[in-house]
Amino acid sequence: MVDFTHLPVMVDRIVELFQPVGGVVIDATLGGAGHSRALLDGRADRSIVGLDADADAIAAARIVLAPYEDRATLHHVRFDQLGDIASAMPEGGVMGVLFDLGVSSPQLDRAERGFSFRRPGPLDMRMDRRRSRTARDIVNDSSSEALASMLRRYADERYARRIAEAIVAARPLETTDQLAEVVANAIPAPARRRSTGHPARRTFQALRIEVNDELGVLADAIDHAVDALLPGGRLVAMSYHSGEDRLVKERFRMAVTGGCECPPLLPCGCGAVPVASYVTRGAERASAEEIEANPRAESVRVRAISKLDLADRQAS
């Protein structure tokens, strides 16, 4: 059994956001089950359905959640199957959904998984190792134009073209440390000196998102989560980079406005019907104290919405 110990981010705030909610909560990104365990401790009338594409996470979560065996059901699936999981539930339905997006500390810490630019390992980055395409395939088979586009789209990388051309010139690349060195050397020295993080961080982020099609499935998964919620149910999303947060913000806005595009100071004339209301206004951030204790919390953005009942929707 591989250690999958993971310090959950903003766990007290997540428990607080779900405090009005009993019943079934889907943890769509189970990981080490830190949030799920806290949510189960928070209310005795709450049960968890946990989803994760990583088999190691599922195995670790089974141990963590063993004391709650009668209230925890786990599925080794990616969160784009959330709709199918929810539709197969008993008549009681779903009262909560949590997305804790991005990569977890145990995945970064295990060099053989290939997520970390700080640890030599194979260029893998698959969360679900049943999938065939790896980071190695993308790095060695993609054109310079495709690599640059990926870096801009998923990482807002200023030096995307330079990095892409350097990768193509250095191929074949087999390991994370080889790629990290190529990327670092492609970025101008003054920019490297100004940077507070590793120069390859953005490239590794973009590759991870591409390998796992994270943003490609997230929008539909959020929409399925909104559809699955019963009135009063809550959806909470934790994002760690701008691309994720933009997508979450947009899907939440669609749920809250019903897609209305009418001028904000005029009555809606398009007939849009909202299905949710905001629980948080804007994105919440971790406190300085939590960031000091858990550096992963520095980039988190938390947003939450609540499902409206039919009467509230018609009155809006």
| 136 inside domain | yes
Question: 46-51 and 301-307: which strand pairing?
Answer: unpaired
Q: Are residues 52 and 137 in the same domain?
A: no
Spans in the chain with pLDDT lower than 50: 1
Query: Percent helix, strand, coil in the chain (nearest 5)?
Result: 50, 15, 35
Q: Which amino acid is at 298?
A: E
> Would you state the pLDDT for residue 313?
54
For the stretch 164-192, pLDDT in tens is 999 999 999 999 999 999 999 999 988 88
| 291 inside domain | yes
- Burial status of residue 53 (CB atoms within 10 A of its CB: 0-12, 13-18, 19 or more): buried
Residues contacting residue 37 through CB under 8 Å, at least 6 positions apart = 64, 65, 68
| 255 inside domain | yes
- Give dist(CA 190, CA 266) in Å, integer: 50
Choosing from 185, 212, 239, the residue where a domain stops is 212
> Would you state the pLDDT for residue 4?
60
Alpha carbon 163 to chain centroid, angstroms: 25
Q: Are residues 121 and 82 in the same domain?
A: no
Q: Are residues 21 and 94 in the same domain?
A: yes
Q: Are residues 82 and 165 in the same domain?
A: no
> Would you state the pLDDT for residue 46?
97
- Give dist(CA 132, CA 149) in Å, integer: 22
Let me know: does 202 contact 157? Beta carbons within 8 Å.
yes
Q: Are residues 97 and 241 in the same domain?
A: yes
Q: Is 98 helix (H, G, I), strand (E, B) or coil?
A: strand
| 85 inside domain | yes
Q: Is the dihedral of CA 285, 207, 198, 293 positive or negative?
A: positive
Q: Are residues 20 and 102 in the same domain?
A: yes
Which region, left, alpha or beta, applies to residue 283 given φ > 0 means left and ψ of -120 to 50 means alpha? beta
Q: Are residues 218 and 70 in the same domain?
A: yes
Model pTM above 0.85: yes
- Give dist(CA 276, CA 252) in Å, integer: 8
Q: What is the CATH number of the domain that holds 182?
A: 1.10.150.170
Q: Are residues 20 and 69 in the same domain?
A: yes
Total domain count for the chain? 2
Integer CA distances (angstroms), 280 to 68, 203, 274, in order? 30, 31, 16
Segments forming the whole domain that contains residue 16: 11-106+214-315
> Would you state the pLDDT for residue 106?
72
Q: Which amino acid is at 187?
A: I
> Would you state the pLDDT for residue 5?
61
Q: Is the dihedral of CA 122, 174, 205, 120 positive or negative?
A: positive
Q: Are residues 235 and 246 in the same domain?
A: yes
Choosing from 212, 232, 247, the residue where a domain stops is 212
For the stretch 228-262, pLDDT in tens is 999 999 999 999 988 899 999 999 999 999 988 88
Integer CA distances (angstroms), 249 to 143, 154, 236, 302, in order? 32, 16, 11, 10
> Would you state the pLDDT for residue 1?
44
| 262 inside domain | yes
